[in-house]
Chain A
Amino acid sequence: MDKFHSLKGIAAPLPIVNIDTDMIIPKQFLKTIKRTGLGVSLFYEMRYDNDGNLIKDFVLNTSPFDQSKILVAGDNFGCGSSREHAPWSLKDFGIRSVISTSFADIFYNNCFQNGILPIVVSPENLDRLMTAAKNQIEFTIDLPEQIIKAGNHSINFEIEEFRKERLLQGLDDIGITLGYQDKINAYEEDKKNTKPWLFKKN
C-alpha cells in the first residue's frame, strides 16, 4: 500500500452534506475487475452532462481544483454502499485526503486500505477550511504531527494510533494478520469441538 506522510496542495470545496458512494462513483463503473482507471469517472453525474461533456462550473472541472489532492466536504461523507470503488476513484483522480465533520464507517475504513487519509474536524473548523479551500489557499497536512495548515489556520486532528502507523509505513494488513496464523488455527480447533455445527460440511 502507498505510504502517507505529509501532503501539500490545493483543496477542493464540496459543501454538500451526506455525499454518498453512489455520488462518488455511480454503479455503471462498478463493473470493472480492476482497481485503477476510475478517476475519470469520479463524481460522474456532477462532473459530466447527459452527453458526457464536462460540466464547466463543477468544482473539480475548474482550475486549479482539477489538480486537487484534498477534498473538503459536508457532514457524513461516504455514506451508502461498501464499494471500495469510491476510494479507488478518489485516489485515481489524485485525492489523498478528505476532510469532513464525519464519515460513514465502511468508507472511512476503506480509505485506510488505500493510503487515503480521512480527517474529522469540528463544524467550526470545517467552515474555516471550506472558506480557505474556496479561496484557493494551499493546504499542508502533516500526519506525524496530526496538523492541517491552511493560511493562518492550524488545526489539530485525531487519528487512532494503529491507523496512523499503517499509513506512515504503508503496511500490508493481510501480511500482518498471517503472522497470527497459529492463533487462528487454534481458535478453529477449539470451535470445532465446542460448536461443531459451525463446521458442518454441505
Chain B
Amino acid sequence: MSNQGPKTLFDKIWSEHLVGQREDGTNLLYIDRHLVHEVTSPQAFEGLKLSNRPVHRPEATIAVADHNVPTINRQNIEDPQSKIQVDTLAKNTKEHGIQYFDLMDQRQGIVHIIGPEQGITQPGMTIVCGDSHTSTHGAFGALAFGIGTSEVEHVLATQTIVQNPAKNMRISVNGELPFGVNSKDLILYIIGKIGTAGGTGHVIEYAGSSIMGLSMEGRMTICNMSIEAGARAGLISPDQTTFNYIKGRPYAPGTEHWDQAVEYWSSLPSDNDANYDHEIVIDSSEIDPMVTWGTSPEDVVSVKGTVPNPSSAKTENKKKSIERSLEYMGLKPGTKITDIKLDKIFIGSCTNGRIEDLRKVASIVKDKKIASHVQAMIVPGSGLVKKQAEEEGIDIILKDAGFEWREAGCSMCLGMNPDQLKPGERCASTSNRNFEGRQGRGGRTHLMSPELAAASAITGNISDIRDFT
C-alpha cells in the first residue's frame, strides 16, 4: 500500500494506526479500544500474571459479562463454571483498573451493543475484542475485528496487535429497498452470493445508496455478519447519520473536541478513485426477505423459495454438504419455506437486539397472539435497550402477545447460558449463526430478520412479512 494516491477507508485507518514494522517484517497496529468479555479473557489475564506483565493502558479497555449470563434470576448464576468466569472477569478488571459494567449495572449488555450505545465506538478507531462479531463496530467507519485469546493478552500488554494489511473488497448495494426487505435480508443475501469464505483475507466496505440509507442500527446488522462471509472486518463510511448517533453519548468526544473529531471523521470516506481488489455491485430490487434453510449462513433462500435439492449442486462437495445439512435440519428438498413449522422464536443478539429491532417486532405483534404451539423469547441487547423499550411500552405489547421478556445478554444466540434449544426443536432466530448445535445440541436454526421472526411467531410457520396483515 503506498502513501500516495487515492485511498480506501480501510487504507486510511490502517496507515493512521501503524506504529511501525517489527524486524520480522510484520506490522504493529495501534489499538484504540479493546472490549473484553468473560469467556475469552481469563486465560489472557492469567498469561499476564504468569509473565508478570502489566496492562499497558487500562483506560482503553472496557469489560462486560455477556456470553454466560442468565437472562432470568441473574442475581444468582446457578452454573458454577459460568459463575467462576463472571467472577474472574470482575476480579481481573478490578486488579488492573479496567472499567467493568457488572450484571447489576443498567449499562450491562452484549459487548457489541454497548460499545456503540455508550459512544465508545467512533469513526476511524481501531477496535478489537475476543469475539468474531466485533465486526459490528465497522458500521461507524471503525476498523474492528475479532481476535483470539493470545491476541487479547498481546493487546492488554502492548495496546497493539501484529497484523498484515487486508485486501479491500467493496460491495455496493444500490436502490431503494423493496417493501419488507431490510438490513438483515441484505446481509443474508450477500453471504448467500459470495459464500462463507467469500470475504476471507478481505475487509469488506459496504457502499451504495441502499446501505447509506440505513439507520446506524441497520448498518450494524450488516457489518456484524461480515464475519459470516469470512471477512476480517466490515466497514461503512461515516456520515451525518453516524455523527448524529454518536453525539452526546457518555464516551463520545465532548464539546471541547467535537468539531475537531467531526472534521477528522469527515476525511475518512474512501477517495472516489480508490482501488479495490474485489468489487461486487448489487441491485436491491433483486432482494427478497431471506431465510436460511441449512447449517451455514450461506445456505440462504428467499422466503418465497423452497428447500434446495442436493442433486442440483454444482460440485460433489456442495452436494454432500447440502445432504448433511438437510439431514440435520430434518428437511426434505422442495419443501416450501413457508410450510416449515416452528417450535421457538428467538429475538435478540448482537445482530438484532437493538431498540429499532424491538420496535419493529412490537409493531407487528401488537394486539395479536403468538401461535399456541410456539415459545417466543425476546432478549434485549442491553439493560439500556430494555429500559428504553419499557419506557415506550414495548414490553407490554410483547408480553401481551405471549413473548417472554428477558434480561440482556447473548442468550440463545450461542446457548452458553440456560437458554437453549432441545434436540430436534426448530427455531426462527434473529441471530447470526445456524451451525449444527449452535443453539443447543440437535437444535435447528433458521436465521431471519426481526420482522420475519415476529410474523412467524404469530403464524407458527416461517412467514413472509409481505403476506402478513
Contact = CB atoms under 8 A, between A and B. Distances in A.
A2 interface: no
Interface in A123-181: 160-162, 165-166, 173-174, 176-178, 180-181
B85 A76 contact: no
Contact of A106 (B125, B147, B317): B147
Contact of B435 (A74, A80, A113, A202): A80
A104 B230 contact: yes
Interface stretch (B35-43, B204-212, B273-281, B303-311): B35-43
B151 A76 contact: no
A102 interface: yes
Given A173-B150, A180-B19, A187-B19, A82 B40 contact: yes
A45 B328 CA distance: 12
Interface in B16-50: 19-20, 22, 24-26, 28, 30, 32, 39-40, 42-43, 46
B140 to A, nearest CB: 14
A197 B20 CA distance: 23
A40 interface: no
A106 B145 CA distance: 9
B99 A84 contact: no
Given A18-B196, A113-B151, A200-B254, A45 B436 contact: yes
A31 B230 CA distance: 25
B435 A114 contact: no
Contacts of A45: 436-437, 441
Contact of B42 (A33, A87, A113, A114): A33
Interface stretch (A5-13, A22-30, A60-68, A91-99): A22-30
Contacts of A31: 39, 68, 79, 81-82, 84-85, 416
Contacts of B43: 33-35, 84
Nearest to A1: B150
Interface string B132-155: 101000000000011111110110
A45 B439 CA distance: 13
A18 B321 contact: yes
B170 interface: no
B443 to A, nearest CB: 11
A79 to B, nearest CB: 6
A16 B416 contact: no
A176 B30 contact: no
B197 interface: yes
A197 B32 CA distance: 11
B279 to A, nearest CB: 20
Interface stretch (B176-184, B256-264, B373-381, B395-403): B256-264
Contacts of B320: 15-17
Interface in B426-444: 433, 435-438, 441
Contacts of B270: none
Contacts of A83: 39-40, 148
Nearest to B410: A27
Given A17-B321, A75-B197, A198 B32 contact: yes
B74 interface: no
Nearest to B260: A197
B337 interface: no
Nearest to A36: B43
A183 B20 contact: yes
A23 B435 contact: yes
A27 B414 contact: yes
Given A22-B433, A31-B85, A84-B40, A110 B158 contact: no
A82 to B, nearest CB: 4
A81 interface: yes
B29 to A, nearest CB: 10
B165 interface: no
A114 B131 contact: no
A165 B134 CA distance: 29
A183 B201 contact: no
B4 interface: no
Interface of A: 15-18, 20, 22-23, 26-28, 30-35, 45, 50, 74-76, 79-84, 87, 102, 104-106, 109-110, 113-114, 160-162, 165-166, 173-174, 176-178, 180-181, 183-184, 187-188, 191, 195-198, 200-202
13 contacts: A18-B197, A20-B296, A22-B414, A27-B416, A28-B416, A31-B68, A31-B85, A33-B42, A105-B232, A177-B160, A187-B30, A197-B122, A198-B125
Interface of B: 19-20, 22, 24-26, 28, 30, 32, 39-40, 42-43, 46, 51, 53, 56-57, 59, 67-68, 79, 81-82, 84-85, 88, 99, 122, 125, 130-132, 134, 145-151, 153-154, 157-160, 162, 164, 196-197, 200-201, 230, 232, 250-251, 253-254, 257-258, 260-261, 264, 296, 317-318, 320-321, 324, 414-416, 423, 433, 435-438, 441
Given A79-B196, A197-B253, 13 more contacts: A32-B81, A33-B85, A50-B423, A81-B414, A109-B151, A113-B151, A114-B150, A183-B28, A184-B160, A188-B30, A197-B254, A198-B32, A200-B253
